[in-house]
Amino acid sequence: MMELSGLFHGIFFTFFVMVGTNLASATTQYNALNFRAKPNGRTDSTKAFLNAWNAACGSADSTIIYVPKGRYLLGSMEFKGQCKSPQITIRIDGTLVAPVDYNVLGKSANWLSCEGVSGVSIFGDALDAKGPSPWACKASNTNCPAGATTLSFTNSNNININGLMSLNSQMFHIVINGCQNVHVQRVKIMASGNSPNTDGIHVQLSSNVEIINCSIKTGDDCISIGPGTKNLWIEGVSCGPDHGISVGSSSTPVAIKFDCSAKNPCTEIKLRNVNLTYLNKAAQSSCSNAIGKAFDLVRPNSCL
């Protein structure tokens, strides 16, 4: 996990239920198959997906990009913003798969990235990044590429990720960087317990982010919180066997760690109804330059 410090405000942990975005609001649908995407898991469909995005982005209507059942082989893709469409929904009923040869993505920072977009919603099925091969390469201490983050949003607003499954990311699974008003709900993230640098969700330089009712099982941090994060709300998240929820770096037994700057401490932190363990035993919490309060049940015992 990145070792980070900086200014953090308003980090909340609690439990309640939210309602997802209504797909019925979109009026124009673009089927990936109509752009010659192939659901066989072998034919490269990168160009087809980018063409579908460009069509949806260029529409003045609210739009849906629909991905039917099947497996779609995709290389690195960047969905760029400044769209005419006020709302783009990507509905995935199939599985998006990365190339078996990890060198195809190895030099890319991201597999699937959205930059400068607004009003984008992604509804699952699954993203399969084929992480075990690059993990094995790194474990062998040979000259290996860093690997790609599976899904990244940068400088974007009003983002909704609902019901998605992210499998075996080469690096971080989901990164939220420089974004506002992001809602992540019912997301499942899975990677081996010994997979390197596979943080579940990393948030930095972003405000008004909600992570709700998610299951995250990776080899690194469940949720990592970077500098410039404001008004982050985390609730109903199941973590393990990873390093827990952290601000800054963490070690496995530390389920909650706030490792903040003395010059710009983390402030207005609220912990409520947190129940985290390590290998079915009591976990630990660690606070440095963190200010806040704990309410109701908090396990491990709050260090605030």
d(CA 166, CA 184): 13
Cross-strand partners of 153: 114, 176
Active site residues: 220, 243
d(CA 246, CA 235): 14
Cis, peptide link before residue 39, omega less than 30° from 0 = no
Using the structure block, give the residue that is written with the tokens 């309602």: 19
- The three-point CA angle 90-165-174 to 5° equals 80
Alpha helical stretches, state H, the chain: 46-58, 103-106, 132-139
Helix, strand or coil, per DSSP, at residue 106: helix
- Strand locations in 81-192 (E): 88-92, 95-97, 110-115, 120-123, 126-128, 149-154, 157-162, 165-167, 174-177, 180-185, 188-190
d(CA 21, CA 272): 26
CB 188 within 8 A of CB 215: yes
Burial of 297 (0-12, 13-18, 19+ CB in 10 A): exposed
Give one DSSP letter per residue of 192-228, joined into a string.
-TT-TT--SEEEES-EEEEEES-EEE-SS-SEEE-TT
